Amino acid sequence: MAAMPLRARLYSVFFRRTSTFALTIVLGALVFERVFDQGADAFYERLNHGVRGRGRARARPRPGDFLFFLMQKLWKHIKHKYETQEE
């Protein structure tokens, strides 16, 4: 008996029955949401950290810059300047 092609195998495992099709869609949506959220957070943190490749600091954003509202420092990046060390 010949091996099933990948497309036929995927169909028979994931899409043939309505219940497995629905489960595949739900799980795929959950995985996509998680990956997209993690990627967006990483992008946002890198953009706001002020680093532009190879360790060069980016110039301070001006109000007229594109996406100025995204180019602000996050509290976790500057809080060490304002916190006091209590022993």
Would residue 30 count as lying in a domain?
yes
Looking up residue 45, the CATH number of its domain turns out to be 1.20.5.260
- Is residue 70 domain-resident? no
Domain of 40 in residue numbering reads as 9-49
Average pLDDT on 14-41 reads 93
Would residue 83 count as lying in a domain? no
Q: Is residue 75 part of a domain?
A: no
pTM (2 d.p.): 0.53
Checking if the pLDDT of 54 tops 60, the result is no
The answer to whether residue 56 sits within a structural domain is no
**Structure-model confidence comparison of residues 52 and 10, the more confident one:** 10
pLDDT at 79: 77
Number of domains into which the chain is organized: 1
Whether 20 is in a domain gets the answer yes
Sign of CA pseudo-dihedral 30, 70, 80, 83: negative
Residue 57 phi, psi (nearest 5):
-80, 140
Q: Is residue 36 part of a domain?
A: yes
The answer to whether residue 45 is domain-embedded is yes
